[in-house]
Chains A and B, each alone.
Chain A
Amino acid sequence: MSAKSAYRQMEESITLAPVEEQLADWGGGREREELLTLNMGPHHPATHGVLRLLVTLQGEVVRDIKPVIGYVHTGIEKTAEDKSYWKVIPVIERMDYLSYYFNAMAFCSAVEAIAEVEVPKRAQYLRVIHLELNRIMSHLVWLGTSALDLGAISMFWYCFREREQILDLFEMSSGQRMHTRYFQVGGVIEDIPRGFAEKLEAFLRVMPNRADQYNALLHSNEIVLQRLRGTCPLDAQTLLDLGVSGPLLRAAGNPWDLRKASPYCSYGDFDFKIPVGTVGDNYDRFAVRLAEIYESVKIITSALEGLPEGPHITTDRKVALPPRHELATSMEALIHHFKLVTEGMRVPPGEYYAAIESPRGELGCFVRSDGSSKPARVHMRDPSFVNLQALAAMAEGSYIADLIATLAMLDPILGGIDR
């Protein structure tokens, strides 16, 4: 063997021992115990919006988290009090901007309960189709951005490819891609156009295959598994005490889902399963949401197959606009049209809290009516707002890198939190 190269000899002469000695003395080892307060956000890319976290760290270990919110507070609840009921729907949809159909659904359910409006069966099925499409869309955005947080960039483009297909469908049925104003009190604004069913079927054929591909990409990805498995678990009882619902609660093994527990909007007609996790760590949260995509596809498929004939909105003329052609022949229809457009529907006095299962948990809408054509109070119990309280309990005692993964799996939407 030849003698060591000059470089190797030089390398061997280098020792770090004096530096390590110095480091051991420095600060008396206190730097490992000292607490450091770190400000994360409000513009950190991993916060999924304008969220600020005051993180107390001991070394790299998270000891406390204080979320600071309110940066995108727009006073939608206050704005809603100054608008007639049908004009509230567009502003309400802008709260949780990834689940706009759900916001509208919660509000319409509350108003329909107070005004005792019957929703036709076809409208209920159309609502279910759009709600579940919206759930898939919301989960796709979550999956793409969460994978981005974990360092997998290509997932983002794949997920947005399918999301685009869903937005095309929304555009077809309502004319808008986001904030569609499709749900109205008493039903939906328009029946689905010709060609919608075929396009939807094509999407339903593609989506499960795509979800399989995502599964293959992520479920056998060693980095993703190491980042998610066993990190930041929280048991079901603590989650319940913190008011957490939705996929986060189901990941901890509690199969609570309002679609099954108290079926609203004809959900009882469809056959679907509720994916649940076992330990409630980040991996379970991830797997539950991914599995929900398949269930939503199943629901849409059977809703489209069983779509009943009939009106798409209630025929109560005090609530919904008369069909356009009636205006030319009926004076009464003209009066109803005029009254509904200028003043809006009147709702009898009362208070109601309607809750539905949004992609993030229990989305409740409280509406108080004073008998006029404007609501006296609209409040959204947004699941992101309540679930955010669990972040500190989840991430305490774990590494700051796991905090990023946990925040991604929490799936907070800041528009919904701040309203």
Chain B
Amino acid sequence: MPDATELELIARELRGADDVGPDAVLGTLHFRGKASLQVAPAALTATLSHLRERGYRFLASVHGVDYHPEEPRLGVHYELLDMESVDRMTVKVRVSTQDPHVPSATPDWPTANHQEREVYDMFGVVFDGHPDLRRILMPEDYEGHPQRRDFPIGGEPVLFTFNEKQGR
């Protein structure tokens, strides 16, 4: 894992890069030995490609988080892995529910395809530039995004034969 100093160096390097910009890195966090960078959604693509050049070539996971009631509510995390020095790094972006747009990582990282679809399905984050952004786990005609914190558990009736007509 990059230690706290190295994380700051990476953040400084990113701030100095032309395509990322000085204001794009919103924060750094070193928690329980794991480094994470928070960046503005607009700088996400450039940040990921810079980190790829530093050796983080494996995108292990893309997942969504709902920070309700904090604002901006929705978060998307990108877990990067450097297989040579066995290093992990998390890149986080935060967007609001009113404007949940994040540039898609799928063109550069094919593995993000299904995982971004899952985040879209569960949280309603729209990935601009995704080749096939559809629901993946929930039915196509489902309304709402069930992993959001304000989506109630058991909030929908189970359809049986006797209440089939009310459901549709």
Contacts and interface: CB of A to CB of B under 8 A. Distances in A.
Given A262-B86, A353-B79, A353-B88, A70 B137 contact: yes
Interface string A362-400: 101010100000001101010001101100000000000
Contacts, number: 95
B114 interface: yes
B31 interface: yes
A116 interface: yes
A349 to B, nearest CB: 10
A82 B146 CA distance: 13
A261 B79 contact: no
Q: Which of B61, B112, B118, B136 has the largest number of chain A CB atoms within 10 A? A: B61
A148 to B, nearest CB: 27
Interface string A192-217: 00000000000000000000000000
A241 B147 contact: no
B49 interface: no
Contacts of B111: 241-244, 386, 389
B136 A240 contact: no
A389 B110 contact: yes
A241 B79 CA distance: 14
Contacts of A351: 31, 36, 65, 77
Contact of B60 (A381, A385, A419): A381
B136 A70 contact: yes
B32 A116 contact: yes
Nearest to B111: A243
Contact of A386 (B77, B88, B115, B122): B115
Contacts of A418: 137
A241 B60 CA distance: 10
B32 A353 contact: no
B104 interface: no
Interface residues of A, number: 40
B97 to A, nearest CB: 16
Nearest to A66: B132
Given A70-B137, A116-B32, A366 B61 contact: yes
Contacts of A381: 60-61, 63, 79
Interface in B61-98: 61, 63-66, 77, 79, 83, 86, 88, 90
A70 B58 contact: no
28 contacts: A70-B135, A73-B138, A75-B146, A77-B122, A78-B147, A79-B153, A81-B149, A113-B32, A116-B32, A240-B58, A241-B109, A243-B59, A243-B112, A245-B60, A353-B34, A355-B88, A364-B61, A366-B61, A366-B63, A366-B65, A379-B63, A379-B65, A381-B60, A385-B114, A385-B115, A386-B61, A386-B111, A386-B114
Interface of B: 31-34, 36, 57-61, 63-66, 77, 79, 83, 86, 88, 90, 109-115, 118, 122, 135-139, 146-147, 149, 151, 153
Interface of A: 69-70, 73, 75, 77-79, 81-82, 113-114, 116, 240-245, 256, 261-262, 350-353, 355, 362, 364, 366, 368, 376-377, 379, 381, 385-386, 388-389, 418-419
Given A376-B149, A389-B114, 17 more contacts: A69-B136, A70-B136, A78-B153, A81-B149, A116-B32, A241-B110, A243-B112, A244-B111, A262-B86, A350-B32, A352-B31, A352-B34, A353-B34, A353-B88, A353-B90, A381-B60, A381-B61
